[in-house]
Amino acid sequence: MKLYTSDEIRTKFIRFFQTKGHAVISSASVIPDNDPTVLFTTAGMHPLIPYLLGEKHPSGTRLTNIQKCIRTVDIDEVGDDTHCTFFEMMGNWSLGDYFNQESIAWSWEFVTAPEWLAIPKHKIAVTVFEGDADSPRDQESYDIWRELGQDEQEIFFLPKTENWWGPAGQTGPCGPDTEIFIISDKERCGPSCSPACGCGRYIEFWNNVFMQYNKRADGRFEPLDQRNIDTGMGLERILIALNGGTVYDSDLFTSIFAQIAALSEATYADQPKAYRIVADHTRTAVFILGDTYGVTPSNVDQGYVLRRLIRRALRFAMELGIQEGHLANVANAVIEKYELIYPELHRNRDKIIREFQAEEARFQKTLSQGLREFEKLTISLENKQLDGRAAFKLYDTYGFPIELTMELAKERSIVIDLEGFHEHFQQHRELSQAGAAQKFKGGLADHSTHTANLHTATHLLHAALRSVLGEEVAQKGSNITAERLRFDFSFHRKMTVEEIAATERLVNEAIAEGVEIISEEMTLEEAQNTGAIGLFESKYGQKVKVYSMGKFSKEICGGPHAANTADLGAFKIVKEESSSSSVRRIKGVLEREIGS
């Protein structure tokens, strides 16, 4: 049996869609820009939402790429056979160009043709939307699959819960999808066995979304003027489908596991869960630290998740007997595995290693504090019983693993209310998942005039900060709600009252001048040569959009924007604070906007 490598799959996927006229675009940052509802980029379509909503993309109407993604809702499930917090999503998009006929036909060709993935046709199953009151049964996609030669016994009509995507918020583009599965060697679990039953017979690896409706505020679905295709194939998932085994059995983890083994007192066979958690969490932390936006561990937002990932990796590294300070060696193995594909990891190697070492030192101090707290909690316990709330506080506040609490309690003949601990843990987890489930609401999918104005204001704010504080200032993230903008930027100290006032004044001077906002398409090299600032994530030669606001600002961006600075009304900084180490955060609002 042929075993595919990750490099081989990446290359085949991109090359295939290039033959179909798709422009290759770069992976965006793992930190979403101007979206307050998700901490990380969770899918390939996420950075493309403005273009799926109708904005013109500088690279055309057919796009393909491999997007770095992070999902942490199931962080506590990592260690099993399937869950990862970081993954690579391979995707292709049609922005009002082709639709389901071409999308399905090309998927079938890529999956089954001998020169591409060469999966036997009898090993393929697909699902299509069964229809409901909002949208009819997707008979057209079913017929396309049948005409291509897909076995009708392995085509399943499933409801909206299984075969529908979107909208991104409460309203917006959405539509039915068709999902592609490989049939494993497991027997059917019963006569009604299907990809929806979750028995493990069917492994999904590709999803083609047919964005053809707009959901209105009143709940009705109306046809979109621009119908789009949005597909996603997880690299880790397709490697399982092709090679078998678990998500950790591919070449993506081979060298990382080898480094863990070299540092560990236990083998992978002895401690597979600990190996997997150390590898997965370290890999994700490396991509967050090495990202263009440069997030570092902190107690808020992405920094909080990053801290939790590193500390959870450290806890399991301790279980493996890995000596203090050596997790950075595992991080270096991740960098070496991915730096040719994602050169930002190579550029930021020193910072990544430094932050791993610093966070480990802080964690060791935290563990010492946790030990003292444990002693305080248990020194005068009645009946030698530790309640679940106290055990959870040790876990949540001090990062104290429940296994360590149990071990210490056993030494002192103390009984822990584990049922109470798990109740508190589950409540905490459900709150976290509920927050993460608010995908895109009010974020990138919100193209209201007000949010476009707020987005425009971030450009003027960025330029003003560089004028007041110096050109060392660089954007480190932003998001926008219906009420305010938030802008993170690199700077080593708190701003003075005078600096805040000067920054605010410069933004309002640009607004008062009422200059037209001009959008131009050019290559990355041309943008740099004209003095544009921004995140230079694109590949050389790739076209980007540059927005100019008179003499005030010139920046690479994807929009949306106001037409004139005068539309913004008046800008006010309401708060300046620390975001993380050497990163400051400004929150601002617009008052007296034109048309408001």
DSSP string, 117-185: T---GGGEEEEEE---SSS---HHHHHHHHHHT--GGGEEEE-TTTSEE--SSSSEEEEEEEEEEEE-S
- Decide: pTM greater than 0.85: no
Q: Is the pLDDT of residue 536 over 80?
A: no
Looking up tokens 């993604």, which residue turns up? 69
Residue 492 assigned ligand-binding role: no
**Which residues, in sequence order, are CB contacts of 447 under 8 Å at separation 6+?**
50, 53, 560
Q: Buried b vs exposed e over 350-367: b needs ≥16 C-beta within 10 Å?
A: eebbebbbebbeebeebb
Q: What is the pLDDT of residue 34?
A: 62
Q: Look up the CATH number of domain 6-248.
A: 3.30.930.10
Q: What is d(CA 327, CA 320) in angstroms, rounded to the nearest whole number? A: 11
pLDDT at 62 over 80: yes
Q: Is 255 helix (H, G, I), strand (E, B) or coil?
A: helix
- pLDDT tens, residue by residue, 388-440: 898 898 887 776 778 778 878 887 889 998 999 988 888 876 665 554 444 44
Is residue 57 marked as binding?
no
Number of residues written out for the chain = 596
Q: Is the pLDDT of residue 342 over 90?
A: yes
CA distance 224 to 489: 38
Q: Is residue 69 annotated as involved in ligand binding?
A: no
Render pLDDT for 234-256 as a digit per residue (tens, 0 to 9).
999 999 889 989 999 999 999 99
User: CA–CA separation, 391 vs 378, rounded Å?
Assistant: 11
Regarding beta strands 570-580 and 583-591, do their DSSP bridges make them parallel or antiparallel, or are they unpaired? antiparallel
pLDDT band at 351 (very low <50, low <70, confident <90, very high): very high
The Cα–Cα gap between 360 and 328 comes to: 9
What CATH number does domain 449-591 carry, 3.30.980.10, 1.20.1530.20, 3.40.1080.10, 3.40.50.300? 3.30.980.10
- Mean of the per-residue pLDDT values of the chain: 88
DSSP 29: P
Nearest to 160 by CA among 131, 127, 193, 196: 131
How far is Cα 406 from Cα 581, in angstroms, rounded to an integer? 34
Contact (Cβ atoms closer than 8 angstroms) between residue 176 and residue 210: yes
Residue 561 annotated as binding site: yes
In the 8-state DSSP scheme, what is residue 507? Answer: H
Query: What are phi and psi for residue 186, nearest 5 degrees?
Result: -70, 145
Tell me, what's the pLDDT at 269? 95
